[in-house]
Amino acid sequence: MTYGRVTAMWNDPIEKKPLFHWNPGSYTFSISSAGCNFKCPWCQNWEISQRSIEEVTSVELRPEDVVKYAKAYRAPSISYTYNEPLIWFEYTLDVMKIAKKEGIGNVVVTNGFINEEPLRELLPYLDAANVDVKAFNEETYRKVIKGRLDVVLNTIEAMADAGVHVETTYLVIPGLNDNLEEFKALVRWQLDTLGPDAPLHISRFYPQYKYTHVSPTPIEILEKLRQTAIDEGLNYVYLGNVPGHPGEHTYCPKCGRLIIERWGFSIVEWALTEQMECKYCGAKIAIRGKYWGSTGHGRLFV
Ligand SMILES: [Zn+2]
């Protein structure tokens, strides 16, 4: 029913997905449909994710049209985002196949709730993903989110095994998943599965949808979780939804210097060589693709 029905199109900074370690500074042509296979009561995009396609405004686009738009905007990638892209699987896959042929990368921003068989069909065309881990607790997934954690973790593992660039996001909701032990368990799982270089985005919650009774995540909690993840051994841990916070920047894991300074979704300072090494100490920084910010490419409108 949702095939070819596009509810939003936008040329976004890749940092907005968020992906901080894949073609930094580039723009990504982003599309969405409607609906979701989860029922998160705090969803930030509930106006499209918790509605059916008949209830929202959409335009019909053939898969080749999406690729044409991406090329017109000079975006080096297409992102399937805003609502859950894996639920319009057939369309996502068709767009991805054409994009790949045209040399355009494919990015999903997903909850990771998909069976392994269709996932394997998608993986050859997928370049990068941001997967939400919404809690590290099977009960929260089943009772509140109406999904399953084990499936999500399998997805992340399968993506990484297939060579897809994976970053994870953890939205911290006071009283629901801000427990230090639960968070530590996630960090340890990520270290074991993806290694120390996979970025983790710790995101600030704002009251939304059915969760207007919960206050925004206190900054001190976000900072504490970020420090915990670093102490446990993750090299790149970021704070999201806190524009201007030092937790948005990239620091060299070897010398500790600030090497990528960001403000929200923009890169304002870049101190890496073309080989993605720290300018100060030469340490290799785990970034895939190239830095697009200096060329302005991918930012031009036609
Ligand atoms: Zn360094």
**How many angstroms does the Cα of residue 235 sit away from the middle of ligand 1?**
12
Whole-number Å distance between alpha carbons of 199 and 156 = 13
Dump pLDDT digits (tens) for 102-136: 999 999 999 999 999 999 999 999 999 999 999 99
253 alpha carbon – ligand 1 mean position (Å): 7
Residue 218 confidence (pLDDT) above 50: yes
Structure tokens at 228: 């915990």
Distance 285 CA to ligand 1 centre (A): 9
Fill in the DSSP letter of residue 141.
Answer: I
Mean pLDDT (whole number) for 143-171: 98
Q: State pTM to two decimals.
A: 0.96
pLDDT at 297 over 70: no
Residue 56: both structure tokens together:
């929202």
For residue 224, give the nearest of 205, 212, 237 by alpha carbon.
237
How far, in Å, from the CA of 292 to the mean position of ligand 1? 21
Q: 137 CA to middle of ligand 1, Å?
A: 36
Asked if residue 249 has pLDDT above 60, the reply is yes
Cβ pair 237, 187 in contact under 8 A: no
Say how many Å lie between the CA of residue 277 and the centre of ligand 1.
8
Distance CA 100, CA 97 (A): 5
User: Cα of 247 to ligand 1 centre, how many Å?
Assistant: 17
Integer Cα distance of 141 and 209 in angstroms? 18
Q: What percent of the chain has pLDDT over 70?
A: 97
Tell me how far apart the alpha carbons of residues 134 and 145 are, in angstroms, rounded to a whole number: 8
Question: How many angstroms is it from 254 CA to the middle of ligand 1?
Answer: 5
Average pLDDT rounded to a whole number, residues 241-250: 96
Q: 138: CA distance to ligand 1 center in Å? A: 39
Helices assigned H by DSSP within 248-291 = none
CA of 251 to the centre of ligand 1 (A): 8
Query: What is the residue-averaged pLDDT of the chain?
Result: 95
Query: Does the pLDDT at position 300 exceed 90?
Result: no
For residues 244-252, average pLDDT: 97
pLDDT tens for residues 185-206?
Answer: 999 999 999 999 999 999 999 9
Q: Is the pLDDT of residue 295 over 70?
A: no
Find the 278 Cα to ligand 1 centroid distance in Å. 5
> With bands split at pLDDT 50, 70 and 90, how would you rate the model's confidence at 299?
very low
At 14-26, the pLDDT tens digits run 999 999 999 999 9
Share of the chain above pLDDT 90, in %: 95
Q: Is the pLDDT of residue 294 over 70?
A: no
Q: What angle do CA 37, 160, 109 make, to 5 degrees?
A: 35
154 alpha carbon – ligand 1 mean position (Å)? 33
Long-range CB contacts (< 8 A, 24+ apart) of 280-286?
Answer: 280/252, 280/255, 281/252, 281/254, 281/255, 281/257, 283/252, 283/253, 283/254, 283/255, 285/250, 285/252, 285/253, 285/259, 286/21, 286/197, 286/198, 286/235, 286/236
pLDDT computed for residue 111 by the predictor:
98
Tell me, what's the pLDDT at 302?
33
